[in-house]
Structure 1
């Protein structure tokens, strides 16, 4: 077995610190002999942000390994969902050098440990980004030198969402008129339920939706751009301040372009912050299709 593979397994099992910090896609901080940032957790964070945020990593690895070990079958042999899952699995393998060797040569306990750390990274990234964006989004939607009436609390959702004119106007599904009192009332009292299949207007450039051309301006809103930069470059880059001493996620992971899945991830990070009534997108939703 390659030295790199052995070392990765040792690190996964907690038996030894990494000694190959120069490996191009791994970044560590050390305190004596203890590794402070496990590479699998580290890569799990980027996987969740750019490939799949709500993935069951153990199931993904188990199914991917099983398919790899099967006699070669054409894609038509599998369902579209199985093929999509396998593409996600292959993307994860490309993201983490040496992972495929570990999976194919390791035992179940090793694989479970690896899955847990990747899952931990994905979950922690989602939680950290949600917390980080809470106050930031509020600042971005507040007009310069003005305040909201009534005020918007940073840590309370009950007064946000469709219960506040400012956030309600942004979260209103494209195609509905927020200025219509009847529409506004139905959204507020929950009579008009919003599924994850409907676009909120804040995703559109200038928050304007054209029913004749529903793709025009989609994913080009200022709010989405600011949130994307906040997560992937750095919070300070939003205001064009000098670069922070710590590299942003794009540089750390060698990310050179915006991916559809990362756009969908940022959009779903903005939604929960200011809508307690929002529900996650279904597998057939527009946001889910963007990821594909």
Structure 2
């Protein structure tokens, strides 16, 4: 939490003075504005990313049966074979009908919790039971979503396969200097892919 506060000071250096000198009732108003802005930004990201993800999935798993609709959550999640596979905790075998049924029925032996890594985080959407970190956070879906959110929707189209995305910010910053409009990472002063930005991307994909 303190680390997040320091990041906030980098973006809003004037806020420290206000926290020290402003009366509490005015600070409450400031807190509400910050929360409103954060909630609005997350909602915008979720709304914009959903149709893009459906397009990517349709391309990667063509044909999707049944098709996914950007305007409706019906038939998504574990109800759909493709999205179910991607959301399935990597340690479970989604290809087994018995596993699908138990996950959908919320069987206590196949619970989906925050302690599991969804399959969509892994390179090629494959999980190695002997090494849970192999390929983790290297899926093309994660790299595309990160670029869509932090550099630009058009930059996400440059992603052809899986990877570690190590050069995402640097290469995008070089392009940003050549244009008048800065992307989100440039506006935030991001020079590297950070753990928080990876977690944020994963949550947005999961949503």
Q: How does 1:207-218 map to 2 (within 5 A)?
A: 207-218=125-136
1:142 pairs, out of 51, 58, 74, with 58
1:170 pairs, out of 72, 86, 100, with 86
> Partners of 1:164 and 1:89 in 2: how far apart?
40
> Partners of 1:151 and 1:259 in 2: how far apart?
34
1:264 pairs, out of 179, 199, 205, with 199
Describe the shift of the 1:161–1:144 C-alpha distance in structure 2 as closer, same or farther (beyond 3 A): closer
Aligned to 1:42: none
Aligned to 1:82: none
> Partners of 1:159 and 1:201 in 2: how far apart?
19
Between Structure 1 and Structure 2, the one with more helix by share is 2
Task: Say whether residues 1:95 and 2:11 are aligned partners.
Answer: yes
Task: Say whether residues 1:230 and 2:148 are aligned partners.
Answer: yes
Please identify the structure whose Cα radius of gyration is greater. 1
Task: Say whether residues 1:158 and 2:68 are aligned partners.
Answer: no
> Partners of 1:254 and 1:89 in 2: how far apart?
15
Describe the shift of the 1:245–1:169 C-alpha distance in structure 2 as closer, same or farther (beyond 3 A): farther
Shift, 1:178, TM fit: 0.7
| Unpaired runs of at least 5, structure 2 | 159-174
> Partners of 1:222 and 1:140 in 2: how far apart?
10
Q: RMSD in angstroms over aligned alpha carbons?
A: 2.1
> Partners of 1:175 and 1:195 in 2: how far apart?
12
Aligned to 2:36: 120
Shift, 1:144, TM fit: 6.0
Describe the shift of the 1:146–1:86 C-alpha distance in structure 2 as closer, same or farther (beyond 3 A): closer
What is the number of residues matched between the two proteins? 188
SS in 1 for 2:91: coil
| Unpaired runs of at least 5, structure 1 | 1-84, 273-292
Structure with the bigger RCO (C-alpha within 8 Å, sep 6+) is 1
> Partners of 2:152 and 2:7 in 1: how far apart?
24
> Partners of 2:74 and 2:49 in 1: how far apart?
17
Shift, 1:88, TM fit: 2.5
> Partners of 1:89 and 1:224 in 2: how far apart?
26
Shift, 1:247, TM fit: 2.0
